[in-house]
Structure 1
Amino acid sequence: MPHKICAVCGQLGEGWHFGAFVCRPCASFFRRTMAENKAYDCRHNNQCPINRESRNCCRSCRLKKCLDSGMKCTPSKPVEQQPSTSPNAVATVSDQSQNSNSNLFENNPENGGSVGMENLPILRKVYDFIKSYYNSIQSIYACENPSSCFKTVTSAPIDRETYVRLEKVAVSIMGITLSSYFPFFGNRNESFKMDILEVINFRLQCLSKMLLSIQNFPDDDDKSAAWYGYHIDMKNPEFFFGNIDQSMVSYFKDAIKCVRIVVNRYAKSNIVELDIGIISALVLINQILKIESNNVEAQQFKATLINEYHSYLANRFGTELGIQRFTETLFMMNDTAFGR
């Protein structure tokens, strides 16, 4: 059989996925986009070139090219392919049936997704941002733990080397995701971005670890989530810290206690991804306004976001409970500052 190229990016195609002959990266991109109901914006009037080298530069144009090539939500394969004999057909079926833990807080019944955001574009953008970030984090975990795709993720102890490596990955993911969803950040120079990124990444990691601790260890004050799928157990500090001075271990035990205080404070608050996205967006904007107090675009985004978030909570939970949840999010934003 002659080699065929991917209908989307032009590299060597892998097989038929979702109705088009494409490479596996483009098939995975399309599957995630459809499964998570993502919406993308293009900064260049939907004229970005999509090829092997640049396919990750603009998600909006990549999705458009996927659709133009004939990709559909329901995968289909050519008539001449037989499911029992074609490896490509097997790969196509796996696109439809593969299990995935796409929601960081999948066990939280209060997580209503994007329902009710149809006429709240700024709020929806923030929701899409935090979903995209967490899905990327989970994809990294799945790459390192392939078997996790077919079972519920169970948190495991993490060593220091793995932790440091994953934290560096998280910074990169955060920078890319912020640039994709917030133009007033993405259009700036690298020096400006790094100054902002250091603060917002720290805050988002604190929030994420707090919520993962709530989810996985609500009553265990000796454990603290370290990353998606990993935790630190202060009953067995040597696994993480190795052979370091006991005074340092004591210092970190005190730090874990401080984290657990905040965890216990919000353990029954039914926090969802959107709340974390709101805090992250507000931290981002506040940091920008510290540097550029007259940044009109950031000011307008902040004002609209607060109004839309308040309206969303009031419509969903009622005025009184909506105000309570709104206030609780602001308190959480303050409680997770940890000096930043």
Structure 2
Amino acid sequence: MKALRTHEVGGPDTLTLDEVETPTPGKGQVLVDVKACAINYPDTLMIRDLYQFKPERPYAPGGEISGVIAELGEGVCGWKVGDRVIAMLGNGGLAEQVAVEAARLFAIPDGVDFPTAASILMTYGTTIHGLKDRGDIAEGQTVLVLGAAGGVGLSAVELAKAYGARVVAAVSSEEKAEVARKAGADEVVIYPTGDIDKDASKELAGQFKVAVGPQGADIVYDIVGGAYSEPALRSLAWEGRHLVIGFPAGIPKIPLNLTLLKSCDIRGVFWGAFTAREPEKNRQNIAELFDLLAAGKINPLVSETFPLEKGGEAIAKLENRQAIGKLVVTMD
């Protein structure tokens, strides 16, 4: 079988398409014929050894797949060959076949295609955990979403709307603003790119405050970090929650006096650790996502697909913050 693998620390251009042996499913595992693998931000970090997990090389990046069960390992119950499934792997997804722990599998709902199915777990799983478990979202609240046109950002727009919130989407271009509006955003702020000095930061904070309204944002969903975090935090309401998701723009330095003045919280959202520590609660969240998908309240935007040999291009596009919605590698 073929797999797109990393052999050395480096960018997407260092990945090579290799011919490797088909894995044999061990006890409690299944062999999955991979049909689609979604690209996520950790994929850009792992191949550069910048992520908290550093798998032994060579390995295929790609942590979110959909496919069909091809073989059952010893002791696997509740699944059969031919079942359509999705799974989170950590890595290994950019390959034609992969061995997966059966406990990591979820059944693909009827009528959902493979690229869409591969785009649900990490983005929407992160966001439902963030908004519900960490953000205490409630109907009628206001949510400011940074990076609102990417896969995670769009999931935040859709889920916040599904929970009855007013959503302000912050994006970097008019093209992305239109995508956020189509996803349900009530208001859009187009923020500057490049260096943001003190004056620009103050101006951006003013834009956020106008957009969220005089009471402030109850929740900031911060996927971006960098110089964008402090202006967003300044727009929080009294006792608001600033949810920390990721840092593609860099790790920010926040003046802690702001948390005192607003009596607000800065809360981390680490979905991967949550799934390991509270697997049953995570399964309940995923089941709720499937219900929302069936009801048409969420719908992952797969903006572009790539063949396996061009998987590095998909990772590069996400790394360069050029992606709108989800980028997916397909194996057919």
Could you state the TM-score of these two structures normalised by the residue count of structure 2? 0.23
Structure with max Cα Rg: 1
- More helix by percentage: 1
**Greater length-normalized contact order (CA 8 Å, ≥ 6 residues apart):** 2
Counting strand residues as a fraction of each chain, which structure ranks higher? Answer: 2
